[in-house]
Structure 1
Amino acid sequence: MLVNTKAIVISALKYGEADLIVKAYTLESGLKTYMLRGVLKSRKGKFKASQFQLLTQLEIIASHKDKGTLEYLKEAKVIHTYASLHTNVVKSSLVMFLAEMLKNSIQEEESNPALYAFLEHSFEKMDEMESVANFHLFFLLKLTAYLGFQPDDSEMDQPYFNLLEGTFENVKTNNYCVEGANLEILRRIMTSDIEEVQHLKLNQTSRKNFLNMLLLYYELHIEGFRKPKSLSVLNEIFN
């Protein structure tokens, strides 16, 4: 089936000497993987490797067999050029981390327009922002709503948050109940918009501890979830 759709690049893996295996989240068909032959060596081919930088927004025409195998990409063009995501050192490190998080979290090969719109808007906003130190915390927390395990905000005044159940509770019921600083940050981010989160004052330790808590939350709710290898790079950048 021939599909014309918007797509966001999630990963691009070199295969052999000249090929790329590109994983993209598409508006029409969810997660798809494409084999691009000779793209790394051919100067006259219809694709350029630069088109497939992480989180790049594309419009593509592709042939989808929808059998869970590698698909065939016929055309691709960049439809939104970022000003700073791939040139700013801090932002490019975040791009690497967030792309890997998406690769490890999104599994469905089906359309989810709301998720696509969230990703599209988030990365354009990140490109515009001056301070992105808290962006990934906000993004990962908001992403849970589209993945099916958004924290229940109906009892936010309770003294514990149960990572296993995704609920605020008045007593500690298991070893996955958090309190203290992480609980306060969770409340703040849940009730803030992206503009307010930019100005949230967190030190290096608080930011790292909260991110580790979020990663555990993902691990508890996504079968087979793996912590991103780029986490160490991100920690170095924010050090």
Structure 2
Amino acid sequence: MAVLTTKAIVFSSIKYGDTSLIVKCFTLEEGIKSYMIKGVLKAKKGKLKAAYFQPLTLLNLTASHNNKGNLNSIREANVYSPYERIPLEIKKQSIVLFLSEILSSIIQEEEKNESLFNYIETALIWLDTHDEIANFHLLFLLNLSKYLGFYPDTSNSSANAFNLLEGSFTTRAYEKLTLVDVDLILFKRLLGINFDTIHTISFNKKERQTLLRVIIQYFELHLEGFKKPKSLDVLETVFS
């Protein structure tokens, strides 16, 4: 059994019994790891607090990894970049719950992926500290596809359609699973931008919902077993 100190992002926590949690984290050093944290829901003292294991909390962990596919254990934990505004703002909370559900379902590898970790970490800190966040989840998901290997090929972006299955622009606008007209215009506005230029694009409620469902469909086509998140409706309600 190896003892490791690593940064980690909490993806999910599930109550186990009356007093314990099973927590899934994306660690910087070893990818996805799951931990049993016994007694944390009743502990008044102790090193570990239940508040540490809220969705997408940024932690430093010292943990024992058994590498046998069993649940691991956490010896120590602390929050290395506490959120100041996410806990206080319902829109940001809704985004965090939505993204934690998606990340938990699509990232499964028990191996180091430093660039993906850094992308998620940087994006979350940006979300906490900025005001114009209505389109954050759209850009987060689209740019996440870079790290998952299916970011849209923009080499022919003047074409009049985008094939969601092939992930590229096309002149064959009549085919199934292609974006054309208004949907295409909305989609193209997100391509090639980063969080610091997100204020330059604006979508109304209907456009935002359309674009989110397009991106969800894009993920469904490119990730085997990807399911529409349960928290999608909540997110759409908050931003309506």
Give deviations 1:42-92, integer Å, cap 9, x for gaps.
112221011111111111011112233311111111100111112111100
Report matched runs for 1:1-239 at 5 Å: 1-172=2-173, 174-239=175-240
Question: SS at the partner of 1:2?
Answer: strand
**Is 196-205 or 93-102 further displaced after alignment?**
196-205
Distance 1:71 1:179 in 2: 48
Structure 1 counterpart of 2:40, one-letter code = V
**Is 95-104 or 188-197 further displaced after alignment?**
188-197
Question: SS at the partner of 1:124?
Answer: helix
Distance 1:141 1:232 in 2: 19
CA contact (8 A) 1:115 1:146 kept: yes
Distance 1:236 1:22 in 2: 28
Distance 1:124 1:218 in 2: 24
After TM superposition, the score normalised by the length of structure 2 is: 0.96
Question: SS at the partner of 2:88?
Answer: coil
Structure 2 counterpart of 1:29, one-letter code = E
Distance 1:161 1:65 in 2: 46
Structure 1 counterpart of 2:180, one-letter code = E
Distance 2:37 2:182 in 1: 47
Structure 2 counterpart of 1:30, one-letter code = G
Offset of 1:173 from its aligned partner? 6.4
After TM superposition, the score normalised by the length of structure 1 is: 0.96
**Unpaired runs of 5+ in structure 1?**
none
Percent of pairs with identical residues:
43
Gap change, CA 1:96 and 1:75, over 3 Å in 2:
same
Question: SS at the partner of 1:80?
Answer: coil
Runs of 4+ aligned residues of structure 1 deviating over 4 Å after TM superposition are none
Question: SS at the partner of 1:62?
Answer: strand
Distance 1:192 1:99 in 2: 22
**Is 189-198 or 109-118 further displaced after alignment?**
189-198
Give deviations 1:81-127, integer Å, cap 9, x for gaps.
11111211110011100111101111211100000110110000011
Distance 2:173 2:116 in 1: 33
**Is 179-188 or 90-99 further displaced after alignment?**
179-188
Question: SS at the partner of 2:9?
Answer: strand
Aligned pair count reads 239
CA contact (8 A) 2:173 2:180 kept: no
Q: CA RMSD in A?
A: 1.2
Question: SS at the partner of 1:86?
Answer: helix
Distance 1:215 1:166 in 2: 13
Distance 2:98 2:216 in 1: 12
**Is 179-188 or 42-51 further displaced after alignment?**
179-188
Distance 2:42 2:32 in 1: 26
CA contact (8 A) 1:22 1:34 kept: yes
Structure 1 counterpart of 2:50, one-letter code = A
Question: SS at the partner of 1:101?
Answer: helix
**Unpaired runs of 5+ in structure 2?**
none
Offset of 1:131 from its aligned partner? 1.6
